[in-house]
Amino acid sequence: MYSGLTERLGILVKDELLELALTHRSFSYEAGGIPTNERLEFLGDSVLGLVVTDELYKQFPNLDESRLSPLRSGVVNMRALAQIARDLKLGEHLRIGKGEEATNGRDKNSILADSLEALVGAIYIQHGYANTAQIVLEWIKPALTLASGMGASLDSKTALQELTSDLNLSTPEYEITESGPDHDKSFIATVNIGSEKFPSGDGKSKREAEQAAAKLAYDLLSSRSKKK
């Protein structure tokens, strides 16, 4: 049933665990209240955070908490996790309700990111920490490589501010909008540099959204500067 997914994961996970990890609350509601992936998501979020924190602690021994914390947020923000889920084609296997199906729920960043965290929880339950860490580190390797290449600043907002200064541009300014109920808010941040508005970034917190938006602006400005 999930052979294609386990092949992409590179590790076998029991079908019943995968099914639970992929069951969104919208599907549960329509199916009469069957268990959802939210408990696994809660567990996976903690495991994921520990794996990433441990790796950053080892990779960047000279950074203090004020630098490590935003760097961690940049590596495991909602957009980054959703992209990993897309690479794994997780959306094809999600169990979502008809309402979410009708509104492209299989490709929503929030649903994909939460499901990936639940998947981490499932892998952890069956295979333990060491094997889970190995899988997670393979997923986040590109993000860690990017972070290393950003130099001393590391987090995207600081990197963008330093880049705009080097390019004699205006200081970045952020516009924030929020949506959703209090227990499940989403935030969208847009970066303005002078009169130019850059693509928006999203996240589960204001800081996460700002980091995502800053990274998009940083990548665009870096690409432009290299072409000159």
pLDDT at 228: 58
Residue 169, helix vs strand vs coil: coil
Q: Burial letters for 185-219: b for 16+ Cβ neighbours within 10 Å, e otherwise?
A: ebbbbbbbbeeeebeebbbbeebbbbbbbbbbbbe
**114 assigned to a ligand binding site:** yes
Alpha helices, DSSP H, located in 156-227: 156-166, 206-227
Average confidence (pLDDT) per 10 residues, the chain, 228 residues:
86 94 94 93 96 92 78 79 93 93 91 96 97 95 72 67 86 93 86 94 87 88 74
pLDDT at 3: 78
Q: Quick check: is 160 in a domain?
A: no
Place of tokens 């002078």: 194
**210 assigned to a ligand binding site:** no
Closest to 156 in 3D by CA, of 81, 80, 224, 85: 80
Distance of CA 143 to the CA centre of its chain: 10
**15 assigned to a ligand binding site:** no
CATH code for position 11: 1.10.1520.10
Q: Looking at 151, 179, 206, which one is the last position of a domain? A: 151
Closest to 6 in 3D by CA, of 135, 142, 112: 135
The answer to whether residues 44 and 122 belong to one domain is yes
pLDDT at 205: 86
- The residues carrying an active-site annotation are 45, 117
Residues in a beta bridge with 193: 196
215 lies in which domain range?
Answer: 169-226
CATH code for position 220: 3.30.160.20
pLDDT at 152: 41
Q: What is the end-to-end Cα distance of the chain in Å, rounded?
A: 51
pLDDT at 73: 75
